[in-house]
Amino acid sequence: MSVLSGGPWASDPVRDAGKDHAGRRALLVPFVLVGLLATLDLSITIWCDRATGFTEINPLVAALLESGSYAGLVLLKFASLAVFFALLWPARRRRVGLAGAWVGVLVYAAVLAQWAQVLWAMRRVLI
């Protein structure tokens, strides 16, 4: 029996996941998480810039903060998320698309772990 003819390995659990309500919701989870984590990252960046004048390590973001352009920072974040979604949303029902979305979640989780360290180190300054 061939895989292409409907053998036991012919079904794709990722592609099949979008066929019912729970499956569609499961496909949305990493995309929603990326949006939420990106918003949290942006909020912390702006808050820390206003509260402490910290040094940003991303040169593009640092230039925007130096110019006082929070609107530019928001546009940059929106544009980067738009590219992320434009590349991965059409492929969300394929393993590579879903894996890419979960990599995005892991990247933002790592960024927020760095923020946690920074905020912990600054706790005496902030209180």
Q: C-alpha 54: how far from its chain's center? A: 23
In terms of Cβ atoms closer than 10 Å to its own Cβ (0-12, 13-18, 19+), residue 40 is middle
pLDDT tens digits, 6-26: 544 444 555 555 566 666 777
Q: What is the pLDDT of residue 124?
A: 72
Collapsed DSSP state (helix, strand, coil) of residue 103: helix
> Residue 7 carries which DSSP code?
-
**Closest C-alpha to 108, from 40, 44, 45, 54:** 40
Can you list the alpha helix ranges (DSSP code H) found in the chain?
A: 13-17, 21-51, 59-66, 70-88, 95-121, 123-126
Alpha carbon distance 106, 123 (integer Å): 25
pLDDT tens digits, 70-104: 999 999 999 999 999 999 999 888 888 889 999 99
Tell me the mean pLDDT in the region 23-41: 89
pTM, to two decimals? 0.77
Q: What is the pLDDT of residue 77?
A: 94
